[in-house]
A = this chain, B = another copy of it.
Amino acid sequence: MTSYTEELRLGGAIRARRRRLGMTLVEVAASAGLSHPFLSQLERGLARPSMRSLTAIAATLGTTAQALMADTELPAAPDTEPVSVVRRASDLVAPVDSPGGYVRPLVRGERAMLPVEFNGAPREFDEYYRHDGEEFVYVVQGLIEVDIEGGFHTASAGDGVYYPGGLRHRWRSLSDEDVRLVVVQQNRPPATDSHGEPPN
C-alpha cells in the first residue's frame, strides 16, 4: 500500500503537469521515447519509473526529475507550509530507480533548490545527464569518479563537486562500499525551451 501511494503521488505530479501544458499522453510518450501505455501506467501509479525515464518525461514537460519527485505540482502552499522535513524512513516521498540503486527526494514542494539522495551508483558509466541550473554533489560515503564533459574527478566522503548542469555529467562507483550522494540541483525554470526543437 505504501509503495502504491508513493507511485500514485509521482504519477499524479506527471499527469498534473502534462495536463497543465495541454499535452496528450501520446505526445509526451513519443517525445520521451516511452510507450504510451507505460506512461499511462506511470500516471496512474501502476508502474515505477527509472531515473532515466523520469528525466526524459521531465525534459518533455519542461521540468526536472527532481522537481517531479519533490511534488512541485502539489504546491506546498508556501505561506502555510514553508518548512519541509523529509525523513529517511518517510513514506511520503517516492524513491525512483537509478542505475545501481535508487534516488530519494529530500524536499517536498516548489523550491529554489532540489536536493535528492542517490543510493548506489553503477560500476560503469551510464549515459550523460545534462540540465538547466547548477548542480552540487556531496559524497556522504563511498568513492566515485565523476565525468564532467570528459574531465575526470574522483571524490570520496566529505568531498564536494560543483558544476553547471549544462555540462554533460555522470558518475560511477569506484568502491565496494555502498555509495551515497547528496545531489542538489538549482531549480531554474528554463527561460528558453532548451529541450525541444526550436519552433519553425
Contact, CB under 8 Å: A161 / B88: no
Q: Which of B87, B115, B117, B182 contacts A162 (CB 8 A)?
A: B115
Q: Min CB distance, A148 to chain B, in Å?
A: 5
Contact, CB under 8 Å: B85 / A138: no
Q: Min CB distance, A87 to chain B, in Å?
A: 5
Q: Which of B88, B112, B186 contacts A157 (CB 8 A)?
A: B88
| A interface secondary structure, majority | strand
- Given the interface contacts A106-B136, A111-B134, A136-B107, does A153 sit within 8 Å of B83 by beta carbon? yes
Contact, CB under 8 Å: A115 / B87: no
5 inter-chain pairs at a CB distance below 8 angstroms, sorted by A residue, are: A82-B167, A106-B136, A111-B134, A115-B138, A138-B138
Q: Which of B78, B86, B111, B136 contacts A115 (CB 8 A)?
A: B136
Q: Min CB distance, A98 to chain B, in Å?
A: 17
Residues of A61-116 at the interface with B, using a CB-CB cut-off of 8 Å, are 78, 82-88, 106-107, 111-113, 115
| Oligomer copy total | 2
Interface residues of A (CB under 8 A from B): 78, 82-88, 106-107, 111-113, 115, 117, 133-134, 136, 138, 140, 148, 151, 153, 155-164, 167, 182, 184, 186, 188
Within 8 Å CB of A148, what residues of B? 83
Contact, CB under 8 Å: A85 / B140: no
Q: Min CB distance, A85 to chain B, in Å?
A: 5
Contact, CB under 8 Å: A115 / B163: no
- A106 — nearest CB in chain B belongs to which residue? B160
Contact, CB under 8 Å: A138 / B106: yes
Q: Min CB distance, A185 to chain B, in Å?
A: 9
- CA gap between A182 and B136 in the complex, in Å: 11
Q: Min CB distance, A77 to chain B, in Å?
A: 13
Q: Min CB distance, A95 to chain B, in Å?
A: 12
Q: Which of A85, A88, A182 has the most CB of B within 10 A?
A: A85
